[in-house]
Amino acid sequence: MSITTSVLDELGITCQTENIYHQIISAVLDASEQLELPRRLQLMMAQPKNELIVHFPVRMDDGSFRLFKGYRVQHNNVLGPYKGGTRYHEDVTLDHVKALAVLMTMKTALIRLPFGGAKGGVKVDPYSLSEDELMRMTRRFVSALGANIGPDYDIPAPDVGTNAQVMAWMADTYENISEPSKRLGRAGVVTGKPLEYGGSHGRDKATGQGAVDVLEELLPELNIAIDQMSYSLIGFGNVGSWTARLLSERGATLKAVLDHTGAIVNEKGLDAQALAAYVAEHRGVAGFPGGKAFSEEDFYSLPVDLLIPAALEQMITTENAALINCRVLVEAANAPVTPAAERDLLNKGVTILPAILCSAGGVTVSYFEWKQNRQAEVWSAEEVDRQLRAKMIAAARRVNQMAKTLRCDLRTAAYCSALEHLNKVYNIRGIFP
Ligand code: NAD
């Protein structure tokens, strides 16, 4: 019996291999076996501490009311307050949020941040709402969460479908429903806020910046020169567009982009800055005058040095893995590759740089924002970049070293480094009482 089956059995959960939560937990538990970590840690990792589902009504612009379903999953807080993004998407489910919450525990532990892992979301297509409806829904969601979030307890951030404006509404609502004498400085309840309202320099580009810092550290070992490499991107939202803009500054060639509106290609290189401006206006890459439309199949088959998924989870399946023609797959998105596709890619000799490393820049600058809020300080953009780079490089080295010591792939190594740290802290703290 595999370790995953035996742990899930003990918890009374039937393992479903297609379920994203079970996929992530299986990978984490498999990694824990490499280090022979104690059973109690495996059990604690396999279930979140708290799973909250809220239903709340919101008045629509036409006077009708709509009931929304929101989630907050708090996976683990042995390292510090829970921390994790808030997603607005029509496909949000409890297991999805649980999966993303586990990844947050792994990320914060890998980067050695004093945070635990959480995730939240609302099942909604945010683009189907007017700005006023979005604001009322956000405020009502925060009031439904009530004391389940807080700057010392659980600190949400942006994710797919949410942005700095949504974070500002969240913080403002939280401040308004807090006791008056305790309101000051409560904006630290969320990160990713606008600069004028307690946000940090560099938070917008942080996830892309972190991915680029990791690439600058690890690509030389793989004999890839950043200024001569070509790459394709899946997703051109916050993470994808910033990764592209920062890589273009370093001379890399962006050959193709796929997003929810279609795929575009330009063998000589797409202009990342112009594409970012175009997507901001047209909400997708389709029709971009600097590239040609082509099929999804052609997108995946295009030979490139790097393929960077920066869109949604589980987009790389066995079908498109069979077409993929790259040397390195960089997981700028959370869990973009299914376990079956991962096996196929590794068998083909593709190196996979794992999500808990490559997409950790966002939570790292969120930590800097939280720290600045607590100390009533504003760091310069250069200071944020410098401290982010130091954390990302240290984590990349940790993962590389662990992979060499254990002779394993980089995902397993990243989980092992995170789990080793969590285990040390559990051993020091002990289990209450
Ligand atoms: P976003 O909403 O800004 O962008 C999402 C992108 O995915 C868009 O370009 C969209 O077109 C694309 N997309 C959606 N459906 C698609 C489909 N079917 N096919 C192709 N493309 C599709 O989101 P984001 O903030 O850039 O997040 C992207 C990923 O990075 C997510 O996995 C998120 O959890 C992860 N992440 C984000 C942050 C952050 O700071 N924003 C931090 C860590 C991890």
- Is 367 within a domain? no
* Range(s) of the domain holding residue 315: 206-353
Same domain as 173, residue 257: no
Same domain as 333, residue 214: yes
Which residue among 115, 166, 260, 319 has the greatest number of ligand 1 atoms within 8 angstroms of its CB, and so is best to mutate? 260
Same domain as 222, residue 180: no
Same domain as 165, residue 219: no
Same domain as 264, residue 165: no
pLDDT category of residue 17 using cuts at 50, 70 and 90: confident
Given a cut of 80, whether residue 181 has pLDDT beyond it is no
Give the largest CA-CA distance in the chain: 64
CA of 337 relative to ligand 1 center, distance in Å: 14
**CA-nearest residue, atom 15 of ligand 1:** 260
How confident is the model over 199-234, as pLDDT tens digits?
Answer: 999 999 999 999 999 999 999 999 999 999 999 999
Gap between the Cα atoms of 326 and 320, Å rounded: 12
Q: Report the pLDDT value the prediction gives residue 305, as an integer from 0 to 100.
A: 98
167 lines ligand 1 (CB under 6 A): no
Gap between the Cα atoms of 213 and 360, Å rounded: 11
The residue from 353, 385, 413 where one domain ends is 353
Atom of ligand 1 nearest to the CA of 335: 32
The residue from 330, 353, 376 where one domain ends is 353
- Is 19 within a domain? no
Alpha helices, DSSP H only, in 122-237? Answer: 131-145, 164-177, 206-218
233 lines ligand 1 (CB under 6 A): no
Which whole number is the average pLDDT over 364-383? 96
351 lines ligand 1 (CB under 6 A): no
Given a cut of 90, whether residue 350 has pLDDT beyond it is yes
Given a cut of 90, whether residue 373 has pLDDT beyond it is yes
CA of 5 relative to ligand 1 center, distance in Å: 31
> 290: buried, middle or exposed (CB in 10 Å: 19+, 13-18, 0-12)?
middle
CA of 140 relative to ligand 1 center, distance in Å: 24
Q: Report the pLDDT value the prediction gives residue 5, as an integer from 0 to 100.
A: 85
Alpha helices, DSSP H only, in 146-187? Answer: 164-177
CA of 214 relative to ligand 1 center, distance in Å: 19
Token pair for 305? 């040095």
Q: What CATH number does residue 54 fall under? A: 3.40.50.10860
Looking at the 3D structure of the chain, how many domains does it have? 2
> Which neighbouring-strand residues pair with 191?
none
Amino acid symbol at 374: R
Q: Report the pLDDT value the prediction gives residue 182, as an integer from 0 to 100.
A: 72
Task: Determine what percent of the chain falls in helix, strand and coil, rounding each to the nearest 5.
Answer: 50, 15, 30
How confident is the model over 398-421, as pLDDT tens digits?
Answer: 999 999 999 999 999 999 999 999
pTM for this prediction: 0.97
312 lines ligand 1 (CB under 6 A): yes
Q: Report the pLDDT value the prediction gives residue 184, as an integer from 0 to 100.
A: 66
234 lines ligand 1 (CB under 6 A): yes
Atom of ligand 1 nearest to the CA of 258: 20
Residues with a catalytic annotation lie at 119
Same domain as 210, residue 179: no
Given a cut of 90, whether residue 111 has pLDDT beyond it is yes
Same domain as 172, residue 294: no
The residue from 152, 187, 222 where one domain ends is 187
70 lines ligand 1 (CB under 6 A): no
Given a cut of 80, whether residue 180 has pLDDT beyond it is no
**CA-nearest residue, atom 35 of ligand 1:** 333
**CA-nearest residue, atom 33 of ligand 1:** 333
310 lines ligand 1 (CB under 6 A): yes
Gap between the Cα atoms of 75 and 79, Å rounded: 11
Token pair for 63? 């006077």
159 lines ligand 1 (CB under 6 A): yes
